[in-house]
């Protein structure tokens, strides 16, 4: 947390939620705050949160659309005269609509898919071969076989191969999860990365049995898959696991496209006869294989973010020492033994020392001591010695239900606290939050102790002033002790839960869609009450994803 957020006493009213008092943000978020019930010991099961079942669409060259699972049918161009054949499609992020693109760049939108423009009336050097949608649904890119890229709506042009000699034509594209970049793939497996899209490898220069016909990116942004017309799969990047292929298997018709499952733990392939092949956690919902089609299938899409919950991160601290395959015991140090500086600058008086991170009795224990602490690299000395853990080097994720059961230290309220003595306050600066992998912002602060209160909030850059709708401080009957803190991070929305009760929801296009990692810490604040020695105990940390 680059900036701790200071509350003001005038922000406090005799209500269950204390609003954060900040200068209004330039872009307001819509927020609702709810009164929590009395604390409970058990967690909020993610299965109690409504989810959307998975499904997929496939599209034929005449614009005929076929929907399976919970992918709704919103219309098609089947039976309509087209100036040029359909070559691809993309789904909206909520699964309530889709776009089709024709080889002349004509766009056809259905459901909640908005029309943002097309190249239908423009002379193209080469035909369109595919498209990709912005993660927020506010725009899309079209790509031609020479690698020319055309951006519409909120999609920004990040570069192209339109003026570059290519060994083989471009056959598809995929977007990064934050919409800040994209990949293009050629039929020889060559990959071209633009914007914030990372290059993880390619098949360019490698002999292939059959040409590449498409690609799909992992929803977390950490990899991609390429698919060949014989169903061969090539996976690249740490998050794109190989789940199987049809390579070496006789197919009735060639593969023409693929799509990733919402959690990135599987994928579908579609053949030109509408046959569907599933791998990993991709469920089979039906196909057009064996059915007479007026025109061949040319692509598929899955735009649904829901489905069953999967536990993708779980540490219950039942060992005798920290699991360093999950955690690093400092703030982004070069090694696990490094003593690192504070996170929040002038708001903290403590360094982060691996010696103050221990595991025992089924809990992770982060300790704060009033003793000098000197950082390893800079030699800076702090008044206090504290503990912090983070997962950046080992685990990061995009969207999910984040939950931890935490014992929070308390003390009698004092100078700088919002509640006044003799009330009991959350002491020191305990935190449980998620931060962006590629930059320190945005942040999803599930819980942080601010001026004696346990608070949640969200902010999207280091200069974004936060208005009350960005967060709040629920008044708990017992501010300290054991509580379950959770947040459900979805596209465009974060919902916060304290002890199983919804205490606030933030809805905005500014909610992140890029990979984030977890942090827990017990800092010592400069501007409100601290009490040392103190400890923050964590019973478990979990992340559930669809």
* Domain ranges for the chain: 17-49+310-545, 55-301
**Cα distances (Å, whole numbers) of residue 476 to 40, 250, 327, 407, 479:** 11, 63, 30, 14, 5
For residue 47, the SS3 value is helix
Give percent of the chain with pLDDT exceeding 90.
64
In eight-state DSSP terms, residue 10 is G
- Which of 408, 446, 411 minimizes the C-alpha distance to 39? 408
CA 330 to chain centre: 23
Which residues is 29 bridged to in the sheet?
A: none
In eight-state DSSP terms, residue 130 is E
Q: In the structure, what pLDDT confidence band is assigned to residue 304 with cuts at 50, 70 and 90?
A: low
Cα separation of 23 and 6, whole Å? Answer: 11
Cα separation of 227 and 171, whole Å? Answer: 11
Mean of per-residue pLDDT scores for the chain: 86
CA atoms within a 13 Å half-sphere pointing along the CA-CB vector of 504: 27
Cα separation of 391 and 330, whole Å? Answer: 10
Per the structure block, which two tokens stand in for 277? 């092949």
Cα separation of 497 and 402, whole Å? Answer: 10
Per-residue pLDDT of 447-461, as tens digits, reads 999 888 999 988 776
pLDDT at residue 526 is higher than 50: yes
pLDDT at residue 342 is higher than 50: yes
Mean pLDDT, to the nearest integer, of 315-336? 96
Predicted pLDDT at 262 = 79
Per-residue pLDDT of 385-408, as tens digits, reads 999 999 999 999 988 999 999 999
In eight-state DSSP terms, residue 104 is T
Higher confidence at residue 457 or residue 66?
A: 66
pLDDT at residue 16 is higher than 50: no
Torsion on CA atoms 233, 237, 242, 247, rounded to nearest 10: 10
Mean pLDDT, to the nearest integer, of 275-297? 95
How many C-beta neighbours within 10 Å does residue 478 have? Answer: 13
Per-residue pLDDT of 140-193, as tens digits, reads 999 999 999 999 999 999 999 988 999 999 999 999 887 889 999 999 999 999
For residue 11, the SS3 value is helix
For residue 197, the SS3 value is coil
- Which of 123, 141, 122, 121 minimizes the C-alpha distance to 131? 141
Mean pLDDT, to the nearest integer, of 321-340? 96
Q: Are 94 and 135 a contacting pair, CB within 8 Å?
A: no
The model's pTM = 0.59
**Residue 190: which H helix or E strand, with range?**
none
Which residues is 523 bridged to in the sheet?
A: 429
Q: In the structure, what pLDDT confidence band is assigned to residue 32 with cuts at 50, 70 and 90?
A: very low
Sign of CA dihedral 100, 106, 109, 114: positive
Cα separation of 510 and 79, whole Å? Answer: 40
Q: Residue 85 — φ and ψ, nearest 5°? A: -70, 155
Instruction: Specify the CATH architecture of the domain 55-301.
Output: 7 Propeller (2.130)
- Which of 496, 444, 497, 506 minimizes the C-alpha distance to 470? 506
pLDDT at residue 506 is higher than 90: no
Cα separation of 427 and 408, whole Å? Answer: 8
Cα separation of 149 and 131, whole Å? Answer: 9
Mean pLDDT, to the nearest integer, of 116-130? 95
What would the CATH number be for the domain defined by 17-49+310-545?
A: 2.60.120.200
Predicted pLDDT at 463 = 44
3-state secondary structure 64-131: CEEEEECCCCCCCCCCCCCCCCEEEEEECCCCCEEEEEECCCCEEEEECCCCCCCCCCCCCCCCEEEE
Cα separation of 17 and 36, whole Å? Answer: 9
Q: Give the neighbor-by-neighbor strand order of the sheet with 65-69.
A: 65-69, 55-60, 297-301
Q: Are 306 and 262 a contacting pair, CB within 8 Å?
A: yes
């Amino acid at each position: 947390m680059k900036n701790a957020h200071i509350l003001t006493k005038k922000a406090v009213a005799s209500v269950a939620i204390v609003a954060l008092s900040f200068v209004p943000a330039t872009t307001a978020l819509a927020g609702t705050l709810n009164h929590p019930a009395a604390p409970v010991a058990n967690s909020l099961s993610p299965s109690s949160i409504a989810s959307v079942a998975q499904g997929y669409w496939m599209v034929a060259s005449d614009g005929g659309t076929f929907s399976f699972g919970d992918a709704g049918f919103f219309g098609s161009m089947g039976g309509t005269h087209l100036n040029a054949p359909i070559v691809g499609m993309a789904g909206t992020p909520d699964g309530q609509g889709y776009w089709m693109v024709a080889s002349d760049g004509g766009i056809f939108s259905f459901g909640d898919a908005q029309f943002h423009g097309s190249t239908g009336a423009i002379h193209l050097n080469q035909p369109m071969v595919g498209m990709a949608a912005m993660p927020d649904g506010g725009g899309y890119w079209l790509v031609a076989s020479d690698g020319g890229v055309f951006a519409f709506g909120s999609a920004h042009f990040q570069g192209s191969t339109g003026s570059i000699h290519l060994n083989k034509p471009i056959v598809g594209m995929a977007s990064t999860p934050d919409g800040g970049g994209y990949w293009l793939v050629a039929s020889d497996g060559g990959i071209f990365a633009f914007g914030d899209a990372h290059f993880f490898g390619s098949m360019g220069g490698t002999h292939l049995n059959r040409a590449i016909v498409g690609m799909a990116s992992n929803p977390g942004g950490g990899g991609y898959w390429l698919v060949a017309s014989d169903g061969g799969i090539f996976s690249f990047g740490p998050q794109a696991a190989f789940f199987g292929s049809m390579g070496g298997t006789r197919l009735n018709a060639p593969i023409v496209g693929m799509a990733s499952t919402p959690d990135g733990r599987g994928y579908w392939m579609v053949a030109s006869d509408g046959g569907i092949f599933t791998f990993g956690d991709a469920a089979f919902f039906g196909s057009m294989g064996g059915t007479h089609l007026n025109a061949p299938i040319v692509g598929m899409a899955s735009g649904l973010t829901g489905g069953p919950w999967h536990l993708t991160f779980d540490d219950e601290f039942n060992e005798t020492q920290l699991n360093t395959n999950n955690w690093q015991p400092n703030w982004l140090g070069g090694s696990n033994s490094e003593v690192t500086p504070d996170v929040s600058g002038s708001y903290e008086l403590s360094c982060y020392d691996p010696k103050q991170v221990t595991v025992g009795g089924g809990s992770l224990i982060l300790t704060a001591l009033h003793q000098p602490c000197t950082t390893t690299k800079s030699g800076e000395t702090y008044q206090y010695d504290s503990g912090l853990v983070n997962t950046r080097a080992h685990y990061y994720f995009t969207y999910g239900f984040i939950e931890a059961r935490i014992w929070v230290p308390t003390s009698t309220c004092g100078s700088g606290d919002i509640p006044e003595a003799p009330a009991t306050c959350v002491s020191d600066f305990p935190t449980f939050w998620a931060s962006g992998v590629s930059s320190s912002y945005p942040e999803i602060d599930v819980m942080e102790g601010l001026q004696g209160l346990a608070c949640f909030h969200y902010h999207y850059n280091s200069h974004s002033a936060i208005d009350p709708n960005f967060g709040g401080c629920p008044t708990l009957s017992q501010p300290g002790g054991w509580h379950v803190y959770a947040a459900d991070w979805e596209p465009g929305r974060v919902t916060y839960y304290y002890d199983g009760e919804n205490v606030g929801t933030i809805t905005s296009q500014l909610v992140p869609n890029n990979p984030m990692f977890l942090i827990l810490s017990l800092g010592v604040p400069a501007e409100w009450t601290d009490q040392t020695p103190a400890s923050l105990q964590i019973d478990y940390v979990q992340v559930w994803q669809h």
